[in-house]
Amino acid sequence: MISNTSQAFVWIWLPGHLDPVVAGKISFIAGKYHFVYGRIYLEREHSIPLSPIELPLQRGTFDPEGINEIHSCLRDAAPDAWGRRVIGYSNPI
């Protein structure tokens, strides 16, 4: 995530669909990234959980547990060290 941003939308490509949809929003609060599914995403007929264990398909805010600052499935989808470096150099903000 860009350091001056405290929120970002999480997009997903659902099986059998060509266009991505917004699954929810991640917010950085008190040193941790919290996730909430969007209401419209939860109401979609073919919605799937981002992680059936960490982020089951339900309402409410998901807080990372233990020493984790972000859910594993979201961390795995984020850019690696090289990707963060490229994004940082290409975005002068």
Which residue range is the domain that position 33 belongs to? 7-90
- The total of structural domains in the chain comes to 1
pLDDT digit string (tens) for 55-87? Answer: 999 999 999 988 889 898 888 877 677 766 776
pTM, entire model: 0.79
- Give domain status of residue 2, yes or no: no
Per-residue DSSP letter, 63 = P
> Rounded to whole angstroms, how far apart are CA atoms 51 and 48?
8
Do the domain assignments include residue 76?
yes
DSSP letter at 51? B
3-42: per-residue pLDDT in tens? Answer: 557 899 999 999 999 999 999 999 999 999 999 999 999 9
The answer as to whether 73 is a domain residue is yes
Contact 58, 23 (CB under 8 A): no
Q: Is residue 1 part of a domain?
A: no
> Tens digits of per-residue pLDDT, 40-55?
999 998 999 999 999 9
In a domain, 27, yes or no: yes
Neighbours of 10 (CB within 10 A): 20
- Whether the CB-CB separation of 44 and 80 falls below 8 Å is answered with no
Question: How does DSSP classify residue 46?
Answer: T
